[in-house]
A and B are shown apart, each in its own frame.
Chain A
Amino acid sequence: MTSPLYPLPVPFRAREHSDSVMQRPIPDESELTAGVRIVPGRAYGFFTDTSLCIGCKACEVACKEWNTLPADKVRLSGTSYDNTRHLSATTWRHVRFIEKIRNSGGARVTAMEPFQSNWLMMSDVCKHCKRAGCLEACPTGALFRTEFGTVVVQQDICNGCAYCVPSCPFGVVEINFNDGKAHKCTLCYDRLKGGFEPACAKSCPTNSIQFGEVEDLLDRACKRLEKLRRSRPSAYLYGAPGAPGATGGIEQLYCFFLLLDRPEVYNLPLNPKLPSKRIKKSLNAGLITAAGIGLAAAAVLASVGQEE
């Protein structure tokens, strides 16, 4: 028994499951767990409030469990509690740890700010952009927009051209060299179809990851931001329409974040750009150059004909 993504036997623990005591799944379970009914035709996403994240990595584990994703090459990064380091073809949720030490001119810090134990933590995921660089770049149509507004790779279409990889402004999509196809978070497309909340959001113990309709999430985020600003004036939304992260033609991130420091500290770009915005101008520049040199060539070659 092997996983389709990893040619190794599925671990014993995964096989030791017991049958459910329930006769059937609860219809529209997400109404009970996330307070939202999942209806095709509406846009769904995540609001990740980093001020609530405790770095427990339950989301990472839940994602791997549900999607049967194997562990990456585990090794100590030596920089923080983050040994996963980045999203990959087999890691679709990733918790970042940023240690914040007050500047004390080199002396040992004896007093610290009583906020999040001087750590910033953030659970990163595919942003399911309103205009997605990966989707626009995909030449096969393997990357498509689902009926829930999310961006998913159709594994039976992808031919592994890997052009989506450098086209994503957030470093999300990646090729799995075992099957030669692109992989990324599907926002639990299969669960959404069954009326379930995505695994990561359901497993989050502090509600740092909130799932819902994007418009509702934005309202919720604004209220949270207003409240948080009283103690943390540096808080802001990343990926909300018009805000940092939703720039350069991307318009909006359906999975957006509440951040407390500049985006680069969380390994996010301040002003990401949609690559496809410049295609026309770039192609025109190339064609005009070709035409210019071509005309010069024609002038030279025409003189050959005349001389003869």
Chain B
Amino acid sequence: MENIEPQIIETGNGPDAGLPAPSVFEVCGNLPEPFDRIEISPYRGETYYEIPPVRQSHYEWKTATAFLLNGIAGGSQILATALDLLGGESDRGLIRAGRYTAFLGGTSSALMLISSLHNPRRWYNMLRIFKKTSPMSIGIWAITPFTALSSMTVAGQVIEDLGYENAGRWIGRAFSLPAAVLGGFVISYMGTELEETNMPFWAGSYPLMAPLYSAFGLSNSAAAILAASEFTEVSQKTRRNLNRLALISGGAELALATLSQSRWKNSPEAAGFEFSPYSTLFRFAYIGLGLSAPLLMRLYSEVAEDSPAGAISGFFAKLLGGWAMQLSLVYGGRESGKQARDYFEFATPRKLNGREVEKPEKRQSDGTNSMLFGLGVLAMGAGIFYLSSRGKEVRGNESSNCQE
């Protein structure tokens, strides 16, 4: 019988089948080998028949919608409290709008989250314990007291509206302060909840996801309060300052969204998201419609020194874009959970034995997303050109009126 020497053999299912096989583990030292004492060849795309090694998340549109509402509710409570403490007498209408938004947003998001459970009748089991190792537990223990305090704040507001101004204001203020502190957790925990999983796209977004969600919450609530200013009596100055606030928070959100997006583009664990339609949704519906368009409106108002243009349409653009963002992140994460390679890339150490682990070859998309992105950039450029030319026209008319 022919004596066959043991040799390194190749799995037939990797994309590099037919290439010289890498050594598996060069063994040294005692048994079992500590992780830092073994030589590991770079990951070259081996999978088990492309079957995902992790189970994909079951989050759906209800969770995405609840995240959107959470952001607006938490941010509105923070801004309403800031207005209550720092603003003037003419801002009472805006404070009222902020408090009602926080209460309605918090309640509806809690109901939405309960309905997203597979056993909704047992939702209260989440209140049995608090776990600092579970972002969902942290979130539940932020949302529940936040909603309770927000409802008390609204009760204070109702008392104020009934004519008992001093009592109502003090009750509202007493409950809105702790609610605003919890609001900080409510707007940011959602990013942590997504990041701290094993869905490669979400986990690979660390540490940008939580800041993105924070900026999202504050920016959307600023847009909501700016829109509310159209329905209440506020001074032109207040309106301009609110416009400035929406500009600052929207700018921060845009910066974080662009940073995240450029990171996903170059990260192997986000390939499943990048090659899916959800990345296109994120770029156009969120960065384009939900962020850039409202920001251009705010910028135009700021430059033209005009009253805030399109406060209501800007808010709806943000709302739609924000929903698209939540949907694209939730479903994009699920998509990445289906990609075996994405997870293995995520679970490959970047550095081992003091050396950088060789980076895998970048996977190529079919170019559809890039083409659509290019078209979007052109459309936005045209929009900026139109708005800036209109701004010049307005300023030209104003100066000619002054001369007259």
Q: Which residues of A contact B (CB under 8 A)?
A: 77, 79-80, 82, 85-86, 96, 98-103, 105-106, 111-115, 118, 133, 136-142, 157-163, 165-175, 177, 180-181, 218, 221-222, 225-226, 229, 231-234, 236-237, 240-244, 246-247, 260-262, 264-273, 275-276, 278-279, 281-283, 285-294, 296-298, 300-305, 307-308
Contacts and interface: CB of A to CB of B under 8 A. Distances in A.
Interface stretch (B87-95, B312-320, B321-329): B87-95
Contacts of B19: 103
A240 B32 CA distance: 7
Q: What 3 A-B pairs come out closest when comparing CB atoms?
A: A160-B118, A286-B188, A286-B210
B12 interface: yes
A161 B17 CA distance: 41
A139 B192 contact: no
A41 to B, nearest CB: 23
Given A286-B214, A289-B188, A100 B11 contact: yes
Interface in B51-78: 51-59, 78
Given A136-B134, A297-B222, A307-B88, 6 more contacts: A137-B134, A165-B58, A243-B32, A293-B249, A300-B245, A308-B89
A270 B348 contact: yes
A103 B86 CA distance: 73
Interface residues of B, number: 117
Contacts of A296: 245, 248-249
Contacts of B82: 294, 297-298, 301
17 contacts: A85-B51, A99-B12, A106-B18, A114-B4, A139-B140, A159-B125, A166-B197, A167-B196, A236-B38, A244-B40, A261-B24, A269-B347, A288-B211, A290-B218, A300-B245, A301-B86, A303-B241
A246 B32 CA distance: 12
A229 B55 CA distance: 34
B303 interface: no
B10 A305 contact: no
Contact of A171 (B6, B54, B91, B184): B54
Contact of B198 (A273, A279, A282): A273
Contacts of B354: none
Interface in B250-302: 252, 256
Interface string B187-223: 1110111011111001100111111011101110010
B203 A273 contact: yes
Interface stretch (B157-165, B336-344, B377-385): B336-344
Contact of A293 (B17, B128, B252): B252
B231 interface: no
Contacts of B207: 278, 281-282, 285
B117 A289 contact: no
Contacts of B122: 140, 157-160
Interface string B87-119: 111110000000000000000000000000111
Interface string B119-153: 11011011011011111111010000000000000
Given A161-B117, A293-B248, A283 B210 contact: yes
B185 interface: yes
B82 to A, nearest CB: 5
A171 B48 CA distance: 13
Contact of B119 (A111, A133, A180): A180
Contact of B195 (A244, A269, A278): A278
| Max chain B C-beta neighbours (<10 A), residue from A262, A285, A289, A298 | A289
Interface of B: 2, 4, 6-13, 17-21, 23-25, 27, 31-36, 38, 40-41, 43, 46-49, 51-59, 78-79, 82-83, 86-91, 117-120, 122-123, 125-126, 128-129, 131-138, 140, 184-185, 187-189, 191-193, 195-199, 202-203, 206-211, 213-215, 217-219, 222, 235, 237-238, 241, 244-245, 248-249, 252, 256, 333, 337, 340, 343-344, 347-349
A114 B2 CA distance: 10
A279 B192 CA distance: 7
Nearest to B122: A159
Contact of A304 (B87, B192, B349): B87
B34 to A, nearest CB: 4
B55 A171 contact: yes
Contacts of B83: 301, 304
A126 to B, nearest CB: 12
Nearest to A231: B6
Given A100-B10, A166-B197, A308-B88, A136 B21 contact: no
A234 B8 contact: yes
Contacts of B133: 136-137, 276, 279
A138 B344 CA distance: 24
Contact of B86 (A243, A260, A305): A305
Contacts of A96: 48
Given A267-B51, A300-B241, A301-B245, A237 B32 contact: yes
A168 B198 contact: yes
A289 B192 CA distance: 13
Contacts of A133: 198
A283 B138 contact: yes
Contacts of B126: 139-140, 159, 161
B33 A236 contact: yes
